[in-house]
Copies of this chain bind each other. A is one copy, B any other.
Amino acid sequence: MSEYKTIKEACYRANMKLPELGLVVYTFGNVSCVDRENGAFAIKPSGVPYEDLSPEDMVIVDFENNILEGTMRPSSDTRTHAYLYKTWKDIGSIVHTHATYSVAWAQAQMDIPIFGTTHADHLTCDIPCAPPMKDEYIRGNYEHMTGKQIVDCFGEKGLSHTEVEMVLLGNHGPFAWGKNADKAVYNSKVLEELARMAYLTLQINPSAPRLKETLIQKHYNRKHGKDAYYGQ
Contacts and interface: CB of A to CB of B under 8 A. Distances in A.
Interface stretch (A32-40, A83-91, A153-161, A196-204): A196-204
Interface in A125-176: 132-133, 135, 138-139, 142, 171-173
Contacts of A220: none
A165 to B, nearest CB: 15
Contact of A45 (B73, B117, B232): B232
A47 B223 CA distance: 10
A100 B199 CA distance: 10
Contact of A171 (B117, B196, B232): B117
A8 interface: no
B193 A199 contact: no
A28 B119 CA distance: 12
A117 B116 CA distance: 29
Best-surrounded residue of A45, A107, A110, A190 (most CB of chain B within 10 A): A107
Best-surrounded residue of A101, A133, A218, A222 (most CB of chain B within 10 A): A218
Given A105-B204, A232-B47, A214 B73 contact: no
A110 B205 contact: yes
A211 interface: yes
Given A26-B189, A108-B204, A171-B115, A231 B197 contact: no
Given A103-B197, A115-B171, A138 B218 contact: yes
B103 A118 contact: yes
Contacts of A198: 107
Best-surrounded residue of A116, A139, A229 (most CB of chain B within 10 A): A116
13 contacts: A25-B193, A47-B231, A47-B232, A72-B232, A76-B222, A101-B200, A104-B201, A104-B204, A107-B201, A116-B172, A117-B172, A135-B214, A199-B200
